Amino acid sequence: MANKTDNKTLMNLKALTKSSVWDVNENDIFRMWEVAEKDSEVHENTRHFVEIIRSAFTIEEIGADGPEAVKKKYEKLGYKVSEVKLDENKKVIWALKKKPIARVTDLTYENIRHISAAKLIEVLDRNFGGGWDSISQSIKDIIESGFDISTTTLPKDRLHKKGGMYEKKVADGFEVLEVSKGTWVEAIFAKVKPIAEKPRMQFSSHDEDEDEIPEDTYNKPDEDDVEIDDPDDDEITEDNYSTMMDLGGEDPDEEAAGLADYGDE
């Protein structure tokens, strides 16, 4: 598996998630359930834990009194068979089998981190026809959430050229799948993507600012309301004052004189 979880966590049924459940096998499930038999919290939330297990395992309930022949039948099909106590008054026989990841449609965000690059290449090889572009975008998103993927398409005689991309990728730890396309070959490279650490929130210390009184900006004008002096504005002088006043129209005295001349005519 690509990313194992701590075994102590895996042995605790209440710590199991739809992601970590892919790291355990059928016998682990039976052991965890046995350990949790006397846990009242587990009995009160049986359906919840069963749903988590069902996300990665096929569960067939035989019944406590199921015939031995039925149990043998399931065992021949690869199931592990054992008794589980669902609550204080109910015991059943479970036939349990891990769900296979055989096709690209079996890949999920929960299990993609729990397979190796070699396993991914095996799954892709079993499903390919048209190459990487033949996969739906939703499946690509799932794959690329857990793996670094890159592709190249070259003539057969150039793909394995010394010092080329193929050689460099393999040397860097990538698994590769070759998809034949006539006289050309598409190479799909896959490598497990490192799990990025989630950034922790950093809180500033308030020790130094405990006595600092926040500035009262209630009556402070907004920046948009503050008038900014235009550096190009000159002071009002006798020369420019008349110019500013002339913007409103003609001198009223001149206009009056013109009317008087008109009257004299």
pLDDT at 71 over 60: yes
Q: Name 153's bridge partners.
A: 186
On average, the pLDDT of the chain sits at 79
- Position 250 pLDDT exceeds 60: no
What does the alpha-carbon distance between residue 18 and residue 20 come to, in Å, rounded to a whole number? 6
Q: What would the mean pLDDT of 123-134 be, rounded to a whole number?
A: 86
Place of tokens 């993507």: 193
| Residue predicted with more confidence, 213 or 56 | 56
173 — pLDDT class (breaks 50, 70, 90): very high
Q: What is the pLDDT of residues 13-45, one digit of tens each?
A: 989 999 999 999 999 999 999 988 888 888 888
- Bridge partners (DSSP) of residue 85 are 91
Report DSSP state, residue 11.
T
- How many whole angstroms separate alpha carbon 132 and alpha carbon 17? 31
Question: At a CB cut-off of 8 Å and minimum separation 6, what does 137 contact?
Answer: none
pLDDT at 110: 96
**pTM check: above 0.85:** no
Q: Is the pLDDT of residue 73 over 60?
A: yes
Radius of gyration from C-alpha coordinates of the chain? 39
Pair 93, 62: CB distance under 8 Å: yes
pLDDT at 95 over 80: yes
**Burial class (CB within 10 angstroms; exposed 0-12, middle 13-18, buried 19+) of 187:** buried
pLDDT higher than threshold 80 for residue 196? no
- Judge contact between 130 and 115, C-beta under 8 A: no
Average pLDDT over residues 235-253: 47
The tens digit of pLDDT for each residue in 186-195 reads: 999 999 999 8
Spatial distance between the Cα atoms of 107 and 115, rounded to a whole number of angstroms: 10
Residue 189 three-state SS: strand
- In the chain, the amino acid numbered 87 is D
| Dist CA 32 CA 94 (whole Å) | 14
Residue 232 burial (CB count, 10 A): 5
